[in-house]
């Protein structure tokens, strides 16, 4: 097999980063990205892109930590290079505050982010409703810039990208040797994964350029994340809601909650409301599978179900998925050479 043809379905953060990893680990592969949506219309474009991990209940912590470490190191290098502004990657410091001291004062990722420590008494004075806090420096991936940067890198590597709604993975079997399923919430229908469920998030993106620090309530519901041009204010976690329509009452509520953490936000301008459905799962599905119909086989690698934690682990899961694609290709090459005998 001279040039194995790999299709990556999905052009959000996971699809693009997985495609890029495949071009890096399998230079002989011809990679094509197929998606019904591209930036700025993916779920990833709604997210703030903060590297603060979500904990997946059914994935061993060491594996989650490895994914996060790999992602953090990858992005840190970009943030420290001349490409940082184009890629939309930048360092940001701030606080995670808790109304009551959490059971786990040291999260598993505390030694991966920079300068992690408990907040001082003086710092906590700024948050009269909160008893405990953590201060640290982490990274933020602004979208669309990061997705557009990934697309640019892919094009430079010879990757083709097409707008196409794939209704069934099997429809790709005649054109491609392997398929990578990075369809996020779309996997619910595409592969019938009933373990995948939406967690609706509404956010506001506002103009408040004097906000340089992030503030996050440890409950994960209220957060202020300063990006390059806009500050993301959040949010909601509505499990099971499929609605992509912004809700006015929710907008008011998010704004009020954020203003109580950072009163200067009262002066924020140009409020844009966005909604995304976090493709949530008890564990991220990074897995190989072989579909077969009538003696014909189609290797598939799944990489979806990142829920609230996609940005934090994307590079780690992308490289794991790319590795699985490598295994699929080797298996195909093995069987094709057997066929020659």
Partner 1 sequence: MRVAIIGAGVIGLSSALCIQEQFHGLVPSLELEVYADRFTPHTTSDGAAGLWQPYLSDHGNLQETLWNKETFDYLLGHMHSPASKEMGLFLISGYNLFTEPVPDPSWKNIVLGFRNLTPKELELFPGYSYGWFNTALMLEGRSYLPWLTNRLTQRGVKFFHKKVESFQELFSQGVDVVLNCSGMRAGDLQPDPELQPGRGQIIKVLAPWVKHFIITHNLKSGIYNSPYVIPGSEFTVLGGIYQHGNWSEENSAKDHKSVWDSCCRLLPALQEAKIVDEWSGLRPARPSVRLERESIRLGNRQAEVIHNYGHGGFGITIHWGCAMAAARLLGSILQEKKQLATPPGPRL
The residue ranges that bind partner 1 (CB under 8 A) are 76, 79-86, 88-94, 114-115, 117, 119-120, 122-123, 126, 135, 137, 142, 209-213, 226, 228-229, 263-264, 266-267
- The residues with which 280 forms a beta bridge, in sequence order, are 197
Q: State in angstroms the smallest separation of the CB of 258 from partner 1.
A: 14
Q: State in angstroms the smallest separation of the CB of 96 from partner 1.
A: 13
Residue numbers belonging to the annotated binding site for FAD: 43-44, 166, 183
Q: At 178, phi and psi to the nearest 5?
A: -150, 150
Q: State in angstroms the smallest separation of the CB of 264 from partner 1.
A: 5
Residue numbers belonging to the annotated binding site: 43-44, 166, 183, 223, 278
Place of tokens 């373990």: 195
Residue numbers belonging to the annotated binding site for D-dopa: 223, 278
C-beta of 74 vs 304, nearer to partner 1: 74
Pairing of strands 30-35, 5-9: parallel
C-beta of 91 vs 244, nearer to partner 1: 91
C-beta of 207 vs 323, nearer to partner 1: 207
Rounded Cα gap, residues 272 and 252, in angstroms: 12
Q: State in angstroms the smallest separation of the CB of 10 from partner 1.
A: 27
Residues with Cβ within 8 Å of residue 214, at least 6 apart in sequence: 50, 92, 93, 94, 95, 138, 140, 223, 224, 225, 226
Residues with Cβ within 8 Å of residue 49, at least 6 apart in sequence: 88, 140, 141, 142, 143, 146, 225, 227, 311
Rounded Cα gap, residues 168 and 105, in angstroms: 45
C-beta of 95 vs 197, nearer to partner 1: 95
């Amino acid at each position: 097999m001279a040039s194995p043809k790999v299709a990556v379905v999905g052009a959000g953060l996971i699809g693009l980063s997985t495609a890029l990893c495949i071009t890096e680990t399998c230079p002989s592969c011809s990679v094509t990205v197929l998606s019904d949506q591209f930036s700025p219309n993916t779920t990833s474009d709604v997210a703030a892109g903060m590297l603060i991990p979500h904990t997946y209940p059914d994935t061993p912590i060491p594996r989650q930590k490895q994914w996060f470490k790999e992602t953090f190191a990858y992005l840190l290098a970009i943030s420290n290079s001349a490409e940082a502004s184009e890629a939309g990657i930048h360092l940001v410091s701030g606080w995670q505050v808790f109304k009551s001291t959490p059971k786990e004062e040291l999260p598993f990722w505390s030694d991966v982010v920079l300068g992690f420590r408990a907040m001082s008494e003086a710092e906590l004075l700024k948050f009269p409703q909160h008893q405990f806090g953590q201060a640290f420096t982490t990274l933020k991936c602004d979208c669309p810039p990061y997705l557009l940067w990934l697309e640019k890198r892919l094009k430079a590597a010879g990757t083709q990208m097409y707008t196409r709604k794939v209704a069934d993975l099997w429809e790709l079997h005649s054109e491609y040797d392997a398929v990578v399923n990075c369809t996020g919430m779309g996997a619910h229908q595409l592969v019938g994964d009933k373990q995948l469920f939406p967690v609706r998030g509404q956010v506001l993106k506002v103009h408040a350029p004097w906000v340089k620090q992030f503030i996050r309530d440890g409950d994960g519901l209220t957060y202020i994340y300063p990006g390059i041009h806009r500050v993301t204010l959040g949010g909601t976690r509505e499990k099971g809601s499929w609605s992509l329509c912004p809700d006015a009452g929710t907008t008011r509520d998010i704004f009020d909650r954020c203003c109580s953490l950072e009163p200067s936000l009262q002066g924020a301008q140009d409020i844009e409301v966005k909604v995304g459905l976090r493709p949530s799962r008890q564990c991220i599905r990074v897995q190989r599978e072989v579909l077969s119909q009538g003696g014909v086989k189609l290797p598939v690698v799944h990489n979806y179900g990142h829920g609230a934690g996609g940005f934090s682990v994307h590079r780690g899961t992308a490289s794991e998925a790319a590795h699985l694609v490598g295994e699929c290709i080797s298996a195909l090459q093995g069987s094709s050479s057997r066929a020659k005998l």
